[in-house]
Structure formats: structure tokens, C-alpha cells
Amino acid sequence: MVPLLERNERPLQRVCSFLKPVYYNKQSHIAREGEPLDATLFITQGIVWSFTTANNGEGNYSSEAECIGKGDFYRQDLLDWAFNDSPISLSLSKLPISKKTVKTHGKVEGFALMANDLKTVVSNWRIVASALRAARQCRHGR
């Protein structure tokens, strides 16, 4: 489960309405290090490898890999961008950049939440949350 959505059922329900099924063949790149993160992937079948390759300045490269499988999700950075940034900074021109390359091990199925849809969910949720806070203040202010 996505920790940010565990606490808030309304945005979770709204997120579910925007999920799009995705399918990847074996050995397919889902994301490459240095590219903008344009979707969060929730994996329902299969395994993907998430890895970084860093140059330590001496021409030597080091790598670390993480296995992501059924029930997991990839691209927490995109969720952080949407839920933690100010409403003004929720611009698609300011998407976070992938720090990892993600490649399928075999066939992978899942659901994708596109950045633009996530932006819509968060913007609407903030409007509703703001209205609820204002209503509570009016009730308590009387």
C-alpha cells in the first residue's frame, strides 16, 4: 500500500478511478535513469529490476539493484511530488527525475497512474480539504 494514501480514503478512491492497465514484455525498459517520472507503476504480476549506475569520479561505476514484484509500486518520488509540494509547484514541467533505471525481468502487468491524473486528484483533494477546514472553522467560530 502507498503510505500517503493509507491515511486518506477519498484520494485513494479517486486514484483508483484513474488507474490504467499496463503490460510490459520481458527485458523491457519501463524507465531510464535521468528521465522525467511521468507515472507511478503498481505491479500486479511479474518482477522488475530497479537499479542505478553511479560514476564515482574515477571512471569506476558501481551499481545497486532492487527487485520489485507483485503488490509493490515504483516511483515514490512522483507521489511525494504530488502530495508534498505546494499547489503552485504541481507543474508537469517540474516533474521529478528518475534516479533509477527500471527493467522487466519477465512479463509484467500492473496499473499506471499518470502524473497529470495524479495532479488532478491532488488538486481536487486539496480544494475539498480546504473547504472542509473552512466549514469547521465557521462552525467553531460561532
* pLDDT 10s digits, 93-114: 778 888 889 999 999 999 998 8
Q: Which range of residues forms the domain containing residue 134? A: 3-141
Counting other chains too, the contacts that 122-130 makes at CB distance below 8 Å and 24 or more residues apart are: 122/11, 122/82, 122/83, 122/90, 123/87, 123/90, 124/14, 125/8, 125/10, 125/11, 125/14, 126/87, 128/10
Residue 69 confidence (pLDDT):
92
Domain with residue 84: its CATH number is 2.60.120.10
The model's pTM = 0.70
In the predicted structure, residue 51 carries a pLDDT above the cut 70:
yes
More confident residue, 89 or 42: 42
In the predicted structure, residue 1 carries a pLDDT above the cut 50:
no
In the predicted structure, residue 54 carries a pLDDT above the cut 70:
no
In the predicted structure, residue 91 carries a pLDDT above the cut 70:
no
Number of domains in the chain: 1
